[in-house]
Structure 1
Amino acid sequence: MSVGVYTLGLNHTSASLAVRERVSLSDDLIAPALASLKETFGTRLREAAFLSTCNRTELYCAAEPSVAQELAQWLAGFNQLDQRMIEPHLYLHDRDLAVRHAFRVASGLDSMVLGEPQILGQLKDAVRVADQAGSLGTLLHQLFQRTFSVAKEVRSTTAIGEQSVSLAAAAVRLSERVFGELNNSKVLFIGAGEMIDLCATHFAARNPAQMTVANRTRERAETLAARIGASTMRLAELPDRLAEFDVVVSCTASTLPILGLGMVERTTRQRRRLPMVMVDLAVPRDIEPEVGRLDDIYLYSVDDLGKVVQSGEQNRRAAVVQAEAIIDARVRNFMKWLELRSTVPIIQSLRAGAQAVQAHELEKARRALVRGEDPDQVMEQLAHALTQKYLHGTLSALHQSEQSDRQQLMGWLPKLFPSSAGRRQH
């Protein structure tokens, strides 16, 4: 019975968190799950590996076709669930679609955050666990090794891993263009709304030297500051303390600018020409646009950040096209390997049959020589017998075939017997 490649699973696009958590497999459940598969399907399922993360639970396996239709039932039973609860959320891929899915997952094309790198490490861990459990064989081993190779190629030759996916992330990136790493920088957040909260979270991940929150409502400032490990200050302190900060991010509901040209000019003199990044995410603006003309001030508006994000999205869209092209080519290569692998038993059978004929005819020739028969005649008989048996199957097929089949066989003869065809042409 032929063995194929299958992937059964659900992910963040096919199932809610409530469903995903019901079928998620913790590390200590992987080995029992693999053992259960072996017990349930026996030799019909040859190889298996599980990938289970917060966003997906997937089974990759090499199995006979009859197994594929029973995998959903097994998954529900193993997790003690009603199959009807999870079946609408499951996908089942086979052959090239299963291979393509593995390549896309490892490359970050199937992730919640496009291009995120963690999934590749998680897949490598899943393969290691399956290997330790003894559930990997030649087919899945080859699939996963090629999967890792494709992921490396996609990440090294495309921009799929670019991470500027929001205004907040773009603000961090623009600040890093000026200061490099931000661990020596002091950051001021003006406001405490949702956008400032998001920006503060992104900046906090870069571990700046100091973070301060200034807001009209002290309570909200203190709540945000406590969460990110920052201090607070009053808005009235801005004229006296603005020069302390390297990065200023502002987003308030004020209808008039909070930071005017005169205040920032005084600040630049106090900073002795040290650069300052100012990010204005407010509409209307919190910072007078004329501030951007000052030599040492790098002022970015919400539109400026939008262009950065848009540029990143365009790069990623182009990267997806490039990545899919790479994956298409690598899928074709793997399927060709798989098809060639499927001919191995046939080739082995043909070789074994030929060797059996060879051994039989050689033994007859040896016995004839022992009886004292003429060696030249024995050699002629050996050659004749081998030739007859070499041609027997092909000639019989030609004689017994219908007209349409005979024409097809005649077309294959030059490929099967190229030396004979060559002699006829001479």
Structure 2
Amino acid sequence: MPLFTLGINHHTAPLSVREQVAFHAERVPEALTDLTRCKPVHEAAILSTCNRTEVYVATDVPEAATHWLAEYHGLARHEIEPYLYSYPERDAIRHAFRVASGLDSMVLGEPQILGQMKEAVRAADEAGTLGTTLHKLFQHSFAAAKAVRSTTAIGANIVSMAAAAVRLAGRIFERIADQRILLIGAGEMIDLCARHFVAQQPKQVVIANRTVERGRALADRLGGTAIRLEELGERLSHFDIVVSCTASPLPIIGLGMAERAIKLRRHRPMFMVDLAVPRDIEREVGDMDDVFLYTIDDLAHVVESGLESRQAAVVDAEAIIAERVEAFLRWLATRGTVPVIRSLRDAAERARRHEIELALRLLAKGEDPARVLDQFSHRLTNKFLHAPTQALTRAGSDRDELQSVVAQLFHLHLDPHLGE
């Protein structure tokens, strides 16, 4: 079954487009089931992160996935088609390997994408849409990523999104140690940001999360406190720095909430970072005079430091990936011969069993064992050679080609003068 990848990412589309086709984690199983109801789609996996939404499928009709993606999100196909990329088999394999290795990330070499891909595989497996082909593709992707990271410097000197957020905050405030920080969400990205900000020893750290117990668990590790998301409106004005990354389908901080907070702060500046896709903070908030709002795309300009040392490793990484792509293509090619190999072995096994049974009956009658073994070997050899011999005898215009195949299969060294 041919492989195919359809996607949209930070290279091809702005945040305003990416957020329209993002999949929230809790909706991925339902989406996978819906996608594989399209008869041409036999296997599927969805990778949806802040920077990309990609659909990996095994299908003979790749257009089905494109149509489904637009329809599922309630969009006209022409609205997203200019931003989409689609890769047939070889390119799809290479792309998966590059994504897993961090070569296609906004932050070159960042390691988080590997965990996100593994989560996508787990979701597809649980949804029952991860067949043999995609399972093998992702396992090879993880192996390629491991080889790249262990043998090249692709992961050296990385400036993460979290570190970039701290750098930007440092441009607004002279001392982060004098500021109060609010972190909205309790996922991996917020955890990473929290550790970077806490290292600056801020005046206060508060975690706001829909599930307060999860927020409290993170706050306890950081020496902070936790509040319910519902308290955000009345507490927002207390904070100088706000970092948000949730899976909310709708903005958590709207223009009205931000305006009230700034008024209560007597127009003291507020630094905000929105790492969510779709956005947690309404776009219009960034137009306010006293708010410095940065999205995940804005942070891309900061993460370029340290890039040169990693760029030198890209050549080595691409060579590793190219080699592994060829290996995976060979595996795909052999899958087409599996039914023939299985039938050949089954036929040989049936012949072997039949001759063994005959030989055992003859031995039970008291016949000479040496004679029985000799007859057994002759009959078995004749059965194995009957089909190829008959094919060669009856061959027509393709005789030369057939002879060459038989010679290759049986490792024969033909004497060109034998038939003279």
TM-score normalised by the chain length of structure 2 = 0.60
Distance 2:314 2:370 in 1: 70
2:311 counterpart residue number? 317
Distance 2:35 2:304 in 1: 47
Q: Does 1:49 align with 2:49?
A: no
**Post-superposition shift, 1:402?**
4.2
1:163 counterpart residue number? 158
1:165 and 1:312 in contact (8 A); partners too: no
Distance 2:390 2:309 in 1: 62
Q: Which amino acid is 1:394 matched to?
A: P
**Post-superposition shift, 1:352?**
0.4
Q: Which amino acid is 2:326 matched to?
A: R
Of the three residues 55, 60, 71, the one matched with 1:59 is: 55
Alpha carbons of 1:393 and 1:91: their partners in 2 closer, same or farther (altered >3 Å)?
Answer: farther
Q: Does 1:22 align with 2:20?
A: yes
Of the three residues 121, 127, 130, the one matched with 1:133 is: 127
Secondary structure of the 1:23 match is coil
Alpha carbons of 1:49 and 1:210: their partners in 2 closer, same or farther (altered >3 Å)?
Answer: closer
**Post-superposition shift, 1:147?**
1.6
Distance 2:8 2:111 in 1: 20
**Post-superposition shift, 1:112?**
2.2
Distance 1:311 1:421 in 2: 62
Of the three residues 390, 393, 404, the one matched with 1:411 is: 404
Q: Which amino acid is 2:400 matched to?
A: Q
**Post-superposition shift, 1:124?**
1.8
Distance 2:114 2:315 in 1: 20
Q: Does 1:208 align with 2:203?
A: no
Q: Which amino acid is 2:52 matched to?
A: R
Which structure carries more helix by proportion? Answer: 1
2:107 and 2:159 in contact (8 A); partners too: no
Distance 1:164 1:74 in 2: 36
Alpha carbons of 1:51 and 1:388: their partners in 2 closer, same or farther (altered >3 Å)?
Answer: same
Alpha carbons of 1:395 and 1:207: their partners in 2 closer, same or farther (altered >3 Å)?
Answer: same
Higher relative contact order, structure no. (Cα contacts within 8 Å, ≥ 6 residues apart):
2
Alpha carbons of 1:386 and 1:80: their partners in 2 closer, same or farther (altered >3 Å)?
Answer: same
Q: Does 1:342 align with 2:336?
A: yes
Distance 1:406 1:73 in 2: 48
Q: Does 1:112 align with 2:106?
A: yes
Secondary structure of the 1:15 match is coil
Secondary structure of the 1:116 match is coil
Q: Deviations over 1:231-275 (max 9, x none)?
A: xxxxxxxxxxxxxxxxxxxxxxxxxxxxxxxxxxxxxxxxxxxxx
Q: Does 1:124 align with 2:118?
A: yes
Question: How many residues are treated as equivalent by the alignment?
Answer: 308
2:47 and 2:120 in contact (8 A); partners too: yes
1:98 counterpart residue number? 92
Q: Whose Rg is larger? A: 1
Distance 1:165 1:55 in 2: 14
1:6 and 1:60 in contact (8 A); partners too: yes
**Post-superposition shift, 1:349?**
0.9
**Seq. identity, %:** 47
Secondary structure of the 1:47 match is strand
Structure 1, gaps ≥5 residues long? 173-182, 187-200, 212-221, 230-308
Q: Where does 1:1-400 land on structure 2 (aligned, <5 Å)?
A: 3-41=1-39, 44-61=40-57, 63-65=58-60, 67-161=61-155, 162-163=157-158, 205=197, 207-208=199-200, 226-227=269-270, 312-364=306-358, 379-400=373-394
**Post-superposition shift, 1:68?**
2.0
Structure 2, gaps ≥5 residues long? 168-174, 179-192, 204-264, 273-302
Q: Deviations over 1:127-161 (max 9, x none)?
A: 22222223223332232222223223323333323
Alpha carbons of 1:158 and 1:387: their partners in 2 closer, same or farther (altered >3 Å)?
Answer: closer
1:264 counterpart residue number? none
Distance 1:359 1:402 in 2: 34
Alpha carbons of 1:225 and 1:343: their partners in 2 closer, same or farther (altered >3 Å)?
Answer: farther
TM-score normalised by the chain length of structure 1 = 0.60
Alpha carbons of 1:393 and 1:88: their partners in 2 closer, same or farther (altered >3 Å)?
Answer: farther
Distance 1:224 1:158 in 2: 49
1:7 and 1:94 in contact (8 A); partners too: yes
**Post-superposition shift, 1:16?**
3.1
Secondary structure of the 2:29 match is helix
Q: Which amino acid is 2:143 matched to?
A: S
**Post-superposition shift, 1:109?**
1.3
After superposing the two structures, state which structure 1 stretch, 20-29 or 378-387, moved more: 378-387
1:5 and 1:60 in contact (8 A); partners too: yes
RMSD of aligned Cα (Å):
4.4
Q: Deviations over 1:202-222 (max 9, x none)?
A: xx84743589xxxxxxxxxx9
Q: Deviations over 1:154-192 (max 9, x none)?
A: 2333332333699x97x97xxxxxxxxxx9999xxxxxx
Distance 1:184 1:17 in 2: 28
2:48 and 2:54 in contact (8 A); partners too: yes
Secondary structure of the 1:40 match is coil
1:165 and 1:313 in contact (8 A); partners too: no
Alpha carbons of 1:376 and 1:16: their partners in 2 closer, same or farther (altered >3 Å)?
Answer: same
